[in-house]
Amino acid sequence: MTRMRPLIFLDPHPRTEEMVFTPDVEAALGRMGRVVHHFGGRAPDDLVESVLDEVAIIIGQTAMDRDRLDRATNLKAIINVKANWEPNVDYAHAQALGVQVLTVAPVMGRPVAEYCLAQAINLARGFVAADAAFRAGTERYGGAGNRAAYSLFDAPVGLIGYGNLGRALTPLLRPFTSRIAVHDPFLSDAYLRTQGLEPVSLDALLASSRFVYILAGATSENEGFLSAAKLAAIGDGASVVLGSRAEVVDFDALLAEADSGRLRVAVDVFPEEPVPADSAWRATANALFTAHLAGGMASTYAAMREMVLDDVAQILKDLPPMRLQRAEPRQAAMARSR
Task: Measure the CA–CA gap between 16 and 34, rounded to whole angstroms.
Answer: 20
Task: Measure the CA–CA gap between 152 and 211, rounded to whole angstroms.
Answer: 8
Three-state secondary structure of the chain: CCCCCCEEEEECCCCCHHHHCCHHHHHHHHHHCEEEECCCCCCCHHHHHHHCCCEEEEEECCCECHHHHHHCCCCCEEEECCCCCCCCECHHHHHHHCCEEEECCHHHHHHHHHHHHHHHHHHHHCHHHHHHHHHHCCCCCHHHHHCCCCCCCCCCEEEECCCHHHHHHHHHHCCCCCCEEEECCCCCHHHHHHCCCEECCHHHHHHHCCEEEECCCCECCCCCCECHHHHHCCCCCCEEEECCCHHHECHHHHHHHHHCCCCEEEECCCCCCCCCCCCHHHHCCCEEECCCCCCCCHHHHHHHHHHHHHHHHHHHCCCCCCCCEECCHHHHHHECCC
Q: How confident is the model at residue 311 (pLDDT cuts 50, 70, 90)?
A: very high
For the chain, what are the domain ranges? 7-106+298-334, 108-289
Please write the tens of the pLDDT for every residue from 35-84.
Answer: 999 999 999 999 999 999 999 999 999 999 999 999 999 999 999 999 99
How much is the average pLDDT of 188-193?
Answer: 99
CATH architecture of 7-106+298-334: 3-Layer(aba) Sandwich (3.40)
Residue 3 has pLDDT above 90, yes or no: no
The pLDDT of residue 177: 98
Task: Measure the CA–CA gap between 338 and 336, rounded to whole angstroms.
Answer: 7
How much is the average pLDDT of 147-159?
Answer: 99
How much is the average pLDDT of 115-121?
Answer: 99
- Domain 108-289: what homologous superfamily? NAD(P)-binding Rossmann-like Domain (3.40.50.720)
CB 100 within 8 A of CB 76: yes
Question: C-alpha dihedral over 75, 79, 82, 85, to 10 degrees?
Answer: 80
Side by side, the strands of the sheet bearing 7-11 are: 34-37, 7-11, 55-60, 77-80, 100-103, 325-326
Query: Angle CA(230)–CA(210)–CA(293) in degrees, nearest 5?
Result: 80
Amino acid (one-letter) located at 149 = A
Q: How confident is the model at residue 338 (pLDDT cuts 50, 70, 90)?
A: low
How much is the average pLDDT of 134-155?
Answer: 98
Residue 104 has pLDDT above 80, yes or no: yes
| Mean predicted lDDT score pLDDT of the chain | 97
Please check whether the two domains, 7-106+298-334 and 108-289, share a CATH topology: yes
CB 287 within 8 A of CB 267: yes
The pLDDT of residue 1: 45
- Longest distance between any two alpha carbons in the chain, whole Å: 82
The pLDDT of residue 51: 98
- For a pLDDT cut of 70, what percent of the chain falls above it? 99
Please write the tens of the pLDDT for every residue from 242-254.
Answer: 999 999 999 999 9
Parallel, antiparallel, or unpaired: how do β-strands 287-289 and 77-80 relate?
Answer: unpaired
How much is the average pLDDT of 145-154?
Answer: 98
Phi–psi pair at 316, nearest 5 degrees: -70, -15
Residue 146 has pLDDT above 50, yes or no: yes
The pLDDT of residue 4: 86
Residue 178 has pLDDT above 50, yes or no: yes
User: Which candidate, 105, 84, 167, places its Cα nearest to that of 334?
Assistant: 84
User: Which candidate, 37, 39, 41, 67, places its Cα nearest to that of 55?
Assistant: 37
Amino acid (one-letter) located at 28 = A
Residue 209 has pLDDT above 90, yes or no: yes
Please write the tens of the pLDDT for every residue from 260-307.
Answer: 999 999 999 999 999 999 999 999 999 999 999 999 999 999 999 999
The pLDDT of residue 336: 82
How much is the average pLDDT of 116-120?
Answer: 99
Q: How confident is the model at residue 186 (pLDDT cuts 50, 70, 90)?
A: very high
Q: How confident is the model at residue 2 (pLDDT cuts 50, 70, 90)?
A: low
The Cβ of residue 67 has, within 10 Å, a number of other Cβ atoms equal to 11
